[in-house]
Structure 1
């Protein structure tokens, strides 16, 4: 549930009455906690916050934060503990044990499968379907995941320990864990079945027994990979083998020259693009479009496709080699100086038996896909001059309000003081009393202006308030800043002998990494880009890329990153195609 970033809706300090209600809910959900432990978890005087969020799937979740860490989360009126809470009170939930290699799969959002459960000598915990439970690792009883039982304990045994065991909601290293201090699990001795710790030979015997359990668990996992009895757990166990294979492949690549490595990457992206991206209806396809829109998107995460660093140097030479030696494509110059792919041999063995389509999905860089734009809200701060107007609503100087709240408070003030002009049939005018006179009128208007229209009343109120804005990034506490938010500035400048370059500024305001944006643009347009410090601005960097690339910058910021158009200026200066 929290494997991907979430969006914070609100973050407020809990009132005393709400704390008492929360304590009662915790006591009902976790009866093993004593009254002293409840008071320690939810203190009466120390700061304790309630944070409302929306997950990446749109689910509404309430998080209770104390001691700088999220301690509980509530969804669908059900209360669950976090790993931070269970590290302090690990006995609050029944637990299932698994082996350490499974942890990285749980962190990625996978559920715990029954073949991956290590059954202790005293049997499985007595749980029913839907009961809250925790997951621990062998040799450490500090929970690393929290979820609900997929089936009851009796059904687990009747199923022969096959199928889904725990539906994981939250785990160590996910974004809910990252909302806290990001600490590591403590080391809590796992005395199997709740037996006391032993000493001497007995302790050695227990360690040997646990080692045997780990070996048996690994044997079961490897057997599952062979038999494919449970695909999910097979995938978990197979991950370690894949990792070893990747390390071996990396060592093999280290022996190659950079040019050979780039040639291999070019070949890989070429095959993946033909197999998963290009459709017959797209042919003929410009070779430049094939490179920019298809091959570049198939480049694995952490790698950069650069034809100039390969032995081919140019795309045209590479495609002609693919045509002459492999007969995978046929390239033709349909327009003078412009080449297109006119035919693809999809029946070629090299193409049919290349990497599967699913590989392409994993090859897309994850760092860019995980970006979520901030939620920006325009606010108005109450100044000293207007404080009497907001006094009845208990809004003091410096309080930030949304325009709708300002409108509501002003309307309520007018009605409470009977200031609607009844002599006007439309009742569209408001009589000016001394407070409104001091707050909204200029000195030259004191004697002349006796009434104002509703619209002018609201516009004058907002015009005399201080503009500010709230910016909320997913998984972070919203921040209120003064003034206007700076838009992302996109412009075209001339360099040297009338060469055009596109300049992008203010990316940091929206938590966009300038280097990541530069790389993404470089891949899209196949042009060089550089980063430069902004003169007179501390910790700000601008991106500069060759040519008039405003149109591509617009597509990247609007479609890929999801930045609203109103926060980007300069897109209207995109180059337009010449006359045909």
Structure 2
């Protein structure tokens, strides 16, 4: 509803009588809040404004704002909480969970489809068609969207979790959220449910038929208050296991923070997004780049605050941060060429990772083990936009081929006594071309010598002596900082002997582009003008994280 800009009709302070009526309406709409929390939400003395506006589709909406943030909005005499309110009262509505990658679709105005809903171990909350629900992301209980259930929980399960699940009314990062202070969702750890209690919870939900009372979750919150050490273990998630490696939790969180920051800059932030609010960077990009099973919590890092971390990144000249408006910082520039942490994977490693992921998440089709079911992560990685809702399964070979095609190719060249040279792109072989000139004269043109550590000037001088022909070294057309050697006449035979005599060896890999020359034997001794080289050409894939 608020995916596009709205038009404000009026903005006035609420009267005392209207404030009391609003409290009564909120108490009736959300009885689980209680009188005290309703008084907190709608204070008696603080300024409370009523904003009447028209959404981009023409819907008349009334928004209640306090402390600079919208807290409620009214549509067709129905009250709905905003994400700002749900961050303070995360248990106000029955909550469903989805993947971080789905958030972008919701912000753009899409409804939540059932294939994007994550089913927790305790099962889905029990709701009826038309019930108001909250939508959160995996690993964080802070809601990021408010919607209405398009069907009951029973109908959802009966449909095999297919079709439209929720009509989304309001999301984090939409224009209603932007009318507030534009803060990011807090990090709220998921509730820990004991295995022995899970059956009891399911029975309780089945008897009550809804989550209006939220009795069990309230008891779990009480346990957290009495046992803070248990809450600490839960919020740290998979990071607690890293202590076995000798790293303290703070150092692990620092590493995770750097990883999510660099991954967000590499794969999600574009030049057109700048200037970018620092809160948007954290909420929309860094959280969604957090690895599965881990939870990013800046307060547990050594920086404690996002602003201090970004100051450190600015000192390392990765980003430039400015305060474009009072109290609101934005990233205005990014050094895209700054060296960042990364690694390379060969094709066999990529295949192993994809296969392990599919098996770990039970994505192999039980009826046909040659097919793989596509979860949201795989869909986002390999499918085109027009395939998102039509392609549900792929054969193994097609899945692996698509994964390799969507990754960045790279190659590595190794010379004796030197560090390997890793470069992006495909490995270009030495190009030897016989060209026809005027008066039926022929010339031999050689390009791409620098890739293999060969100096074009040295090659030209050697060929001039061996072939007794004139040579010219000139810039290669269409190639930056590259030279080509031109020799008079057809010198392909002499050039082949020269390169083979240099004892150049090649190592071929699967899907490797054509290398320099094929393996062959020669009795020619290495030419003294050209050093011996050992070439390792590997079609690696660069993963910058």
Please report the TM-score for the alignment, with normalisation by the length of structure 2.
0.41
Task: Normalising by structure 1, report the TM-score.
Answer: 0.38
